[in-house]
Amino acid sequence: MTVAENKKTIGNIPEHPKSLLLRMDRMPHIWCSRCGIGIVVGCLAAALEKAGLSPDDITITSGIGCTGRVAGYVKVDSFHTTHGRAIPFAVGLALSRPDLKHVVFSGDGDLVSIGGNHFIHAARRNQNLLVICVNNFTYAMTGGQLAPTTPVTARATTAPYGSFENPFCLPNLAISAGADYVARWTSLHIRRMTDTFEEALNREGFRFIEIIAPCSTIYARRNKLGTGLDLMKYYYENSEIKHDATAEELEIGFQTKIVVGKFVDKERPSYARAMNRHLGKILGKKYIPPEVGGPQ
């Protein structure tokens, strides 16, 4: 929607330009002050606008957690699934409606902890999904328990003396599981994040984008890192863009340098395409490919 079409007003000024894609009637949202999730939602809305997609062309699926609430704030077909099952739900959507774009928008605890198995197998089978993972290094909504992404020596509610577990490095996990498109940005890299979303929306296969976001109330407070604004300044000073980074460089320690960029960009046939090609070759005319679009 262009500005001229935006007839709604709030007070005596025009409503926010993204009000076609975001449910402004539900604002203010539940996320804390200085949380980074809202930035990622705004950048996804901007990317949809830039890619020229209408709200009918896209679905958004979320799991449980702070980031899981995204499904309730977007004005597209969206679903708030059970804990960790955002990817299986979206796989069903992607197989039955291959004409739409399917986005999974969830947090690190949802996607790679309880939903870790779904994540690696969706990447292995190259399901046609865009997975956006907002990584804030903790289980924020349940009170700050130790997450599989919490860096070593960072404190959590269930690790009062600091974590001693080796965390997951999400881009490495996605690369080794075979994802087609892997990128990482922080919530400060708004322009590059928007461009990456726009590029990934027009691609096929399993696309994974990790966004490092500040958690002001839980992660920063428990670790005495100041507020979310201080974490944003830390991203500003300590993130380095490196598109051909090695696996060791991608690891994130506690308040160490963050290597960001687009790490993998390759083409493989997606699951449905590979199935149609293989079965068509083996069965010949006996094979009837599934109808695109489903019942109208």
Partner 1 sequence: MPDPRYWRKPFDSDKVKSPKGVVYVIKDRCKGCGFCVEFCPRGVLVLSVEFNKKGYHPPEVVHPDRCVNCDLCERICPEFAIYSLNQDEIIELAP
Q: Which listed range, 23-31, 118-126, 165-173, 279-287, lies at the site for partner 1 (CB under 8 A)?
A: 23-31
Whichever of 21 and 94 has its CB closer to partner 1, that residue is 21
Min separation Cβ 83 and partner 1, Å: 24
Residue 177 tokens, joined: 């599981």
Pick the binder of partner 1 from 53, 103, 232, 252 (CB under 8 A): 232
Beta partners for residue 139, in sequence order:
145
Task: Indicate whether 221 belongs to the interface with partner 1 (CB under 8 A).
Answer: no
Residue type, 12: N
Min separation Cβ 34 and partner 1, Å: 4
Pick the binder of partner 1 from 114, 175, 190, 279 (CB under 8 A): 190
Q: Which listed range, 11-19, 50-58, 84-92, 125-133, lies at the site for partner 1 (CB under 8 A)?
A: 11-19
Task: Indicate whether 22 belongs to the interface with partner 1 (CB under 8 A).
Answer: yes
Pick the binder of partner 1 from 1, 8, 14, 241 (CB under 8 A): 14
Task: Restricting to residues 69-98, name those near partner 1 by CB under 8 A.
Answer: none
Residue 34 tokens, joined: 């200085």
Q: Which listed range, 32-40, 109-117, 128-136, 271-279, lies at the site for partner 1 (CB under 8 A)?
A: 32-40
Task: Indicate whether 31 belongs to the interface with partner 1 (CB under 8 A).
Answer: yes
Please tell me the count of residues contacting partner 1 according to CB under 8 A: 35
Min separation Cβ 114 and partner 1, Å: 26
Q: What pairing do the DSSP bridges indicate for beta strands 239-241 and 207-212?
A: unpaired
Pick the binder of partner 1 from 1, 54, 92, 229 (CB under 8 A): 229
The residue among 245, 142, 102 whose CA lies nearest residue 184 is 245
Task: Indicate whether 175 belongs to the interface with partner 1 (CB under 8 A).
Answer: no
Residue type, 264: V
Min separation Cβ 17 and partner 1, Å: 6
Task: Indicate whether 36 belongs to the interface with partner 1 (CB under 8 A).
Answer: yes
Binding residues for partner 1 (CB under 8 A): 2-4, 10-11, 13-14, 16-18, 22, 24, 27-29, 31-39, 42-43, 46, 188, 190-191, 194, 228-229, 232-233
